[in-house]
Amino acid sequence: MFKIIKQLTSLATMFAVLFAFSTETMAAKKSKTLENTKKRGFVRCGVSQGLPGFSNADESGNWTGIDVDVCRAVAAATLGDATKVKFTPLSAKERFTALTSGEIDILSRNTTWTLSRDADIGLTFVGVNFYDGQGFMVRKGSGISSTGEFKNGTSVCTNLGTTTELNMRDFFDSRGISYEPVVFEKADEVVAAYDAGRCDTYTTDKSGLAAQRTKLSAPDDHVVLPETISKEPLGPVVRQGDSVWEDIVRWSLNTMIEAEEYGINSSNADMMKTSNNPAIKRLVGAEGELGAAFGLDNDWNLRIIKQVGNYGESYKRNIADTGILPDRGPNELWTKGGILYVPPAR
Amino acid sequence: MNNIIKKFIPQILAILFVVLIFGFLTLNAQTNMDNRGIDFGFGFLSQESSFDVQFSLIEYSGSDSYARAFLVGLLNTLLVSFISIIICTILGVIIGVARLSSNYLIKNSAAWYVEFFRNIPLLLQIFFWYYAALRALPTPEKANAWFGVTYMTVKGYYIPAMVWQNLSVFLYCGLAAIISIIVLRNYANKLRDTQGKQIPVLLYSVALLIVLPLLSFLFGGVSLEFEIPELKKLSKISYIYEGGISLPPELIALVLALSLYTSTFVAECVRAGIEGVTKGQKEAAASVGLTPNQVLKLVIMPQALRIIIPPTTNQYLNLTKNSSLAAAIAYPDLVLVFAGTALMQTGKAIEIVSITMLTYLTISLTIAAIMNWYNKKIEIKEK
């Protein structure tokens, strides 16, 4: 009897151990995620449930936005086709679990890079594709022109599960103002409640405010206050533990930014192959072996630029031309007075 | 020996199977979490939460711990469930009895009510009550006073707060009234059993409940003042009421949706219960000379309750669990505060979701236990 139990136990333990280790183990030189992506034939990308300019789907299900373009760039680099992406819309609450559990491989969902997120929960931030900051939107008729004019009892509508809730508390607490946080799970519900007059102000990242303002019944009756109460560097995130995949995503984004710096765009990329500047030649795969380090061919960066475009093109297409934030502000290249500065691709 | 083996081996194997599956799941989760650099632990509960909550029954601010934020969410869940259970029971009994009415209009309105509210998904009803109400309600400065001192506005329902002097004396008087009612009832029962006399217990009870607390105002030094909400200007176009108590519109919409929805199911339970008592019972009771009221109270209801209670318990449990839809309209219940904001801030998904699941399980089992106790009390006592 005991023998049987013992055998059963050891068998089960063996299975348990095998199963546990088979799901994900060390990816030393090769990237397990890259291998799986190639096998699958598409990149699995987590995006928002609809934030114009960042990740938003039209009626026929085509996703656009600068967050979407990061995933498209990775697809162009790894699979050779920027359209081979499967987008999973995620709420703020679900996003990290979806990534750590392996449901998606890149989280590109206007996510703020903070210490605790980077260090605590099995995530790695690979860079910043949009420098944002939290602000407030109010009704024009209220006559409020700065955050200093908020009074005790102000009701504030916002989203669940974001750094917004913490910043909001820091802001009101440090000024000794009592406020009523009204926290919704989805952005559309926040907009509806604010529009109906439930709240005096709506707070989230300023880019978000600009985007959501377009959804209000009378966008021109509302104004975003000038103050920025927090730093919100938004960027793509990957799972901890696959450093090669992490590098691929990081350098796909960096390629887009550096391409803009050197004036390479989707239409002139092929011609740049014959450029005299070695830095440009490296960026279009005409010199060096940059892709080899990730296990990619040498045209990976050329494909990104040709199929997705450089960062400036992506910004113009998604954010400036849609009227969300025509002024690039800090998201301008460092050479033009902004803070976009990426390490050199060499 | 052979018998023992036959008897116990299947059970031992079953237990072993459960333990192994559980062990496998834990080991798997642990290994994967280790691989991905996620720590497991409940230490975060004592950390500072650093977020605020809109509406709380206890003192709470962002400098309190996550454990206290959990308590805030739990109490809000219990509050909305408690209020909704009471309202849905009252409504359910009225509608259920109305469906059996001989009046054509009453009977059919009740039937329409039931069919309408139980066949629309609850989440839609919650959204309807919330957004419809928000759109329809006036802003604070335009609100008309209800009953002179309460204001129903888009930012909430403002009612006067009670400011008590010597509240304890008042409470003791209330307690004394309740105790004397119990004594009176026992006495009345004894009188009925031994001498066959009936005294109007209900009338006396109500009188006691009013007179004793009233006396405390006259002689006990108890006084009650009302703090009436007053309009305050926040900006050129935005106002708010200050002072008094404010019930957020989220709470009101949630209570409305939950109680209207669940009352239809309770009504059906009540109808089934009353129809489940055989006609002969009613006729027999009438033939011994009981009045229609007495027939309902002494013969029909005690038997109907036995049929009504168990399915109604299910509805109470459903209502409590459905209250977790609160997150959709920003009512800060357990799911929104703890399994929402707290989960997001800490990233402790497994820990927080298991705590939340255990909490709902505990609430449900407690409600079930209370209802089972009540069911035991009223079931047929076989002598």
Confidence at residue A64, expressed as pLDDT on a 0 to 100 scale: 94
Q: Which candidate in B33, B51, B344, B346 is best for mutational testing of the A interface (most A CBs within 10 A)?
A: B344
Confidence at residue B382, expressed as pLDDT on a 0 to 100 scale: 66
Q: How many CB atoms lie within 10 A of CB A151?
A: 16
Angstroms from B240 CA to nearest CA on chain A:
7
Give dist(CA B201, CA B199) in Å, integer: 6
Q: Fill in the DSSP letter of residue A51.
A: B
A177 CB-contact burial (10 Å; exposed 0-12 / middle 13-18 / buried 19+):
middle
pLDDT tens digits along B137-184: 888 888 777 777 788 888 888 888 878 777 788 888 888 888 998 998
Confidence at residue A11, expressed as pLDDT on a 0 to 100 scale: 55
pTM higher than 0.90: no
B239: nearest Cα among B302, B314, B154: B154
Which of B31, B236, B349 is closest, CB to CB, to A143?
Answer: B236
Strands A232-234 and A130-132: antiparallel
Confidence at residue A26, expressed as pLDDT on a 0 to 100 scale: 39
Cβ within 8 Å, pair A154-B234: yes
Which residue in chain A is spatially nearest to B236 when comparing CA positions?
A142
Which of A169, A184, A240 is closest, CB to CB, to B52?
Answer: A169
B258: nearest Cα among B115, B95, B126, B74: B126
Confidence at residue A15, expressed as pLDDT on a 0 to 100 scale: 55
- Name the residue with tokens 């050199």: A344
Confidence at residue A91, expressed as pLDDT on a 0 to 100 scale: 86
| Contact yes or no for A205/A325 (Cβ under 8 A) | no
Give dist(CA B14, CA B146) in Å, integer: 63
Confidence at residue A25, expressed as pLDDT on a 0 to 100 scale: 41
Q: How many CA atoms lie within 13 A of A118 on its CB side?
A: 11
CATH class of the domain whose range is B66-123+248-378: mainly alpha
| Contact yes or no for A46/A108 (Cβ under 8 A) | yes
**A237 CA to centre of own chain:** 7
From residue B348, alpha-carbon distances to A91, A93, B32, B43 in Å are: 17, 12, 14, 10
Confidence at residue B255, expressed as pLDDT on a 0 to 100 scale: 94
Which of B27, B52, B135 is closest, CB to CB, to A20?
Answer: B27
| Contact yes or no for B328/A189 (Cβ under 8 A) | yes
List of chain A residues whose C-beta atoms are within 8 Å of the C-beta of residue B236: 141-144
Cβ within 8 Å, pair A166-B237: no
Confidence at residue B239, expressed as pLDDT on a 0 to 100 scale: 82
| Contact yes or no for A99/A123 (Cβ under 8 A) | yes
List of chain A residues whose C-beta atoms are within 8 Å of the C-beta of residue B248: 180, 182
Cβ within 8 Å, pair B341-A182: no
Which of A173, A186, A241 is closest, CB to CB, to B35?
Answer: A241
* A to B CB pairs, distance under 8 Å: 159
Angstroms from A187 CA to nearest CA on chain B:
11
- Tokens representing B31 are 């290994």
| Contact yes or no for A241/B36 (Cβ under 8 A) | yes
Which residue in chain B is spatially nearest to A100 when comparing CA positions?
B36
The stretches in chain A having pLDDT less than 70 are 1-29, 120-121, 161
Cβ within 8 Å, pair A151-B329: no
Cβ within 8 Å, pair A149-B16: no
The stretches in chain B having pLDDT less than 70 are 1, 36-38, 382-383
Cβ within 8 Å, pair B238-A149: no
* Beta bridge partners of residue A204, listed in sequence order: A135
Amino acid at B177: A
Which residue in chain A is spatially nearest to B339 when comparing CA positions?
A93
For chain A, state the CA radius of gyration.
23
Confidence at residue B72, expressed as pLDDT on a 0 to 100 scale: 94
The residues spanned by each domain of chain B are: 2-38, 66-123+248-378
Confidence at residue A7, expressed as pLDDT on a 0 to 100 scale: 58
Cβ within 8 Å, pair B37-A198: no
| Contact yes or no for B326/B254 (Cβ under 8 A) | yes
Confidence at residue A4, expressed as pLDDT on a 0 to 100 scale: 58
Residue ranges and CATH numbers for the domains of chain A are: 32-131+234-317 (3.40.190.10), 134-230 (3.40.190.10)
